[in-house]
Amino acid sequence: MKIIVASYSKTGTKTLNAALRALGYDVYDFVENFWYLGDDWMRIMNNGGKVEDFKRMYKDVDVALDIPVYFFWEEIHQAFPDAKIILTLRDDESWCKSLDKQMEEMSSKSSPLYVLVQLMTYTGFRYYKWTTRAAEVCLGTRTKWFWQTVDKNGTIQKHVFRQHNVYVQQKAPKNKLLVYNLADGWEPLCKFLGKDVPDQVFPRMNVGATLVANMMAKHPVMKRMQKEFKISMGIISILMLYGCYKVFKGFTFHAEETTFMQKI
């Protein structure tokens, strides 16, 4: 583990993900944390974790970020004391509004396919349980399946958000911490990491809460869910056709039996 991103979701973590990948790092974002380490994280979120757990989980990973990593940044740093820590900040009011917009994008009203693949596939349902638990632990939200309506308290969330950012700046070793404004681009990030500035424009990702659309179009795990969804729909269609056939046969048999009885 080389870098721990202690930033809350919706503080530019997708942009930072893209920037770190461009610099050559292997990054575990929240979907990778679910896919490769989901069982470990579920156990940690339910029962707590030990330093040895994080050492095993992230020994071959360069960067960990987003939910639920930021909530456990200190424990992960205990496992990897040489790792650098990055914290991106945002005004709490705009952060809360952005979080609301992101949750709205993940609802059945805005993204019905995103909700359906969680309802009707094995991988999707595992993903739903994992993300729901992570949101409960890290954001204090409760999701009402399956329409994805979310109970949340914005006032409490803003308090926790501010406390988290202050705590990271107080507790993280100063020589290993970068409090980073994404608007500053490559220079401070590359200087902190000892990397050359790449010859490309600094990325901007998930602008206007477009995360779900991008994931559904590009991410391998989401594509897997969509393939499973097609299989599920195929099986359901076959079962429905078979059911209709049985009903039709039963109706035909009943009609023939009635005709026969009338002839007798």
Report pLDDT for 260.
47
In a domain, 256, yes or no: no
| Whole-number pLDDT of residue 253 | 47
Give the number of domains in the chain. 1
Which pLDDT score is estimated for 208? Answer: 58
pLDDT per position as a tens digit, 214-253: 777 878 888 888 888 888 778 877 877 777 767 666 666 4
Per the domain annotation, does 42 fall within a domain?
yes
Closest among 170, 26, 154, 18 to 94, alpha carbons compared: 154
For residue 242, is it within any domain?
no
List pLDDT tens digits, range 120-145. 888 989 998 998 899 889 888 776 65
Query: Is residue 127 assigned to a domain?
Result: yes
Contact 185, 81 (CB under 8 A): no
Q: Name residues whose C-beta falls within 8 Å of residue 75's C-beta, 6 or more positions apart in sequence.
A: 49, 51, 54
Tens digits of residue pLDDT in 97-113: 888 887 777 765 667 78
CATH assignment at residue 97: 3.40.50.300
Q: What residues make up the domain containing 197?
A: 3-233
Helix (H, G, I), strand (E, B) or coil at 6: coil
Two structure tokens written together for 13:
């973590």
Q: Evaluate whether residue 52 is within a structural domain.
A: yes
Q: What is the mean pLDDT of residues 11-34?
A: 95
- Hey, what are 123's tokens? 């991988």
In a domain, 64, yes or no: yes
pTM over 0.85: no
DSSP 8-state assignment for residue 96? H
Domain presence at residue 216 = yes
